């Protein structure tokens, strides 16, 4: 790759980065400012449907339209990468293709701030044949005894695997591809998208728990048990207590045992005002954080009209395209480049691969059919401006024989 780096004018300045302020100190201070963990973000994603829908919808919009791979450089680049893609699909438990790997990376990067995938070589050789997803909760950068990231030449020295049960740390020896969407300053780890709206999620959890307790306690009628005595006998305090013990557990609500000459007046508890508004506040927070319109989050896609679809396209494309670039940069620089460097029994292939994404939401020109009709019927020096097949391609249709020519040929044959 040295020849290519020289051609592009790329220089190694890692020695200069060692003079800068260690990024680990800044990252450590920011980490201490928040008590949220990856487990908190995972719980929010699994239990709040609107969060899950928003994150999955972002990943689907980014990857559903697909991509094209462009190869350049030395001969054998395309063959090497296509063989690698076939291997990672075959060696993955879910049989993921590259699009699924990219979708998975997008979801993880939104939930945890980072996505990690290990590049695994074949058993006896240098060739990389698998791309193993790793848990973002259990992966961390190597740190010293003070908790600071260990940095050499301006880069972290590596990753470790931390067991949740034993807190045991194991060095990861395989190369790691790390995907992030958002970082602060010069930190090495990304920031979760859920973090921006987690306060509202936490409030919603508290409200739901309180509401459930209120329903359990006040949702059923109270028991009002009166003790009546025969003759002139009045129930004693011990009699009341004994009866209270006997009826204990009959209802989840409260109960009161009293002499018959005492009256009990019950009032229906008033449900706290404004509780339902918190659901709307949570939805507004998620809309603000993710950029996904509210009607898409709540499953009201039928409300989309042609005008709103065009507005949605103008709004989402600038938001999603940088995320696509982050996904493609990780795959191009941390995966494809390493695959090519380890090809040919470790000798490497001096080539490059670029991911070119298809349009997220292709623009629709309502006047296109009329324009095509004009172009196909307008002649220039006795010939139409566009041919039959060119008109069909512009409309997104498969090419086929011109019916006029086919009809003329058939008539000529009959003659």
Contact assessment for residue 138 and residue 176, using Cβ atoms and an 8 Å cutoff = no
Percent of the chain having pLDDT more than 70?
70
Tokens, residue 235: 């129930």
pTM: 0.71
* CA distance linking residue 363 with residue 353, whole number of Å: 27
* The pLDDT of residue 226: 75
The count of other CB atoms within 10 Å of the CB of residue 121 is 14
* The pLDDT of residue 218: 62
What is each CA distance from 28 to 178, 184, 229, in whole angstroms? 19, 12, 73
Helix, strand and coil in the chain, % to nearest 5: 50, 15, 35
- Among 320-324, 336-340, 343-347, 387-391, the least confident range: 387-391
* CA distance linking residue 134 with residue 294, whole number of Å: 32
408 or 256, higher pLDDT? 256
* The pLDDT of residue 413: 45
Query: Tens of pLDDT along 235-251?
Result: 788 888 887 777 766 65
Eight-class DSSP state of 151: E
- Measured between alpha carbons, how far apart are the two ends of the chain, in Å? 67
Eight-class DSSP state of 6: H
* CA distance linking residue 85 with residue 96, whole number of Å: 10
Closest-CA residue to 61 (of 323, 329, 396): 323
Among 101-110, 287-296, 374-383, the range of highest mean pLDDT: 101-110
Would you say residue 387 has pLDDT above 70? yes
Q: Which residue has the tokens 């209270």?
A: 244
What is each CA distance from 29 to 40, 181, 192, 213, in whole angstroms? 20, 21, 17, 39
What is each CA distance from 182 to 72, 105, 193, 194, 408, in whole angstroms? 30, 13, 8, 12, 63
* The pLDDT of residue 389: 75
Query: Tens of pLDDT along 198-218?
Result: 888 888 777 777 777 766 666
Q: pLDDT class for 179, splitting at 50, 70, 90?
A: very high
Percent of the chain having pLDDT more than 90?
30
Q: pLDDT class for 112, splitting at 50, 70, 90?
A: very high
Would you say residue 301 has pLDDT above 60? no
Mean pLDDT of 144-173: 85
Contacts of 372 (CB under 8 A, 6+ apart): 386, 391, 394, 395
* CA distance linking residue 331 with residue 105, whole number of Å: 10
Would you say residue 312 has pLDDT above 70? no
Q: How many residues does the chain have?
A: 415
* CA distance linking residue 228 with residue 220, whole number of Å: 25
Query: Tens of pLDDT along 3-53?
Result: 545 555 555 555 555 455 555 555 554 454 467 888 999 999 998 888 998
Eight-class DSSP state of 332: I
């Amino acid at each position: 790759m040295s020849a290519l780096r020289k051609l592009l004018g790329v220089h190694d300045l890692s020695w200069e980065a060692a003079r800068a302020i260690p990024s680990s100190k800044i990252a450590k201070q920011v980490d201490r400012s928040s008590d949220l963990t990856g487990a908190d973000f995972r719980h929010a994603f699994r239990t709040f449907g609107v969060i899950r829908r928003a994150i999955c919808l972002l990943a689907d919009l980014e990857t559903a339209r697909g991509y094209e791979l462009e190869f350049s450089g030395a001969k054998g680049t395309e063959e090497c990468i296509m063989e690698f893609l076939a291997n990672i699909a075959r060696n993955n438990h879910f049989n993921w293709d590259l699009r699924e790997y990219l979708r998975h990376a997008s979801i993880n990067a939104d939930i945890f701030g980072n996505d990690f995938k290990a590049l695994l070589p074949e058993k006896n050789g240098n060739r990389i044949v698998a791309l193993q997803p790793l848990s973002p909760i259990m992966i961390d950068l190597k740190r010293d005894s003070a908790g600071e990231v260990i940095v050499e030449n301006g880069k972290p020295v590596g990753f470790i695997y931390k067991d949740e049960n034993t807190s045991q740390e194991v060095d990861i020896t395989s190369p790691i591809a790390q995907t992030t969407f958002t970082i602060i300053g010069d930190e090495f780890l990304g920031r979760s998208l859920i973090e921006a709206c987690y306060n509202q999620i936490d409030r919603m959890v508290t409200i739901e728990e309180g509401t459930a307790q209120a329903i359990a306690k006040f949702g059923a009628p109270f028991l009002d048990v009166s003790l009546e005595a025969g003759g002139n006998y009045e129930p004693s305090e011990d009699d009341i207590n004994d009866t209270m013990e006997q009826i204990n557990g009959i209802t989840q609500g409260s109960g009161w045992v009293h002499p018959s000459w005492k009256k009990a007046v019950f009032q229906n508890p008033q449900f706290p005002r404004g509780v339902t508004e918190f659901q709307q506040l949570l939805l507004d927070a998620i809309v603000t954080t993710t950029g996904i319109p509210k009607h898409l989050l709540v499953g009201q896609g039928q409300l989309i009209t042609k005008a709103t679809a065009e507005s949605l396209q103008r709004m989402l494309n600038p938001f999603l395209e940088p995320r696509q670039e982050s996904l493609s940069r990780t795959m191009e620089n941390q995966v494809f480049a390493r695959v090519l460097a380890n090809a040919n029994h470790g000798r490497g292939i001096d080539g490059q691969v670029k991911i070119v994404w298809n349009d997220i939401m292709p623009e629709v020109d309502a006047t296109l059919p009329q324009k095509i009709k004009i172009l196909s019927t307008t002649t220039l020096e006795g010939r139409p401006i566009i041919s039959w097949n060119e008109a069909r391609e512009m409309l997104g249709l498969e090419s086929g024989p011109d019916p006029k020519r086919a009809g003329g040929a058939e008539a000529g044959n009959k003659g």
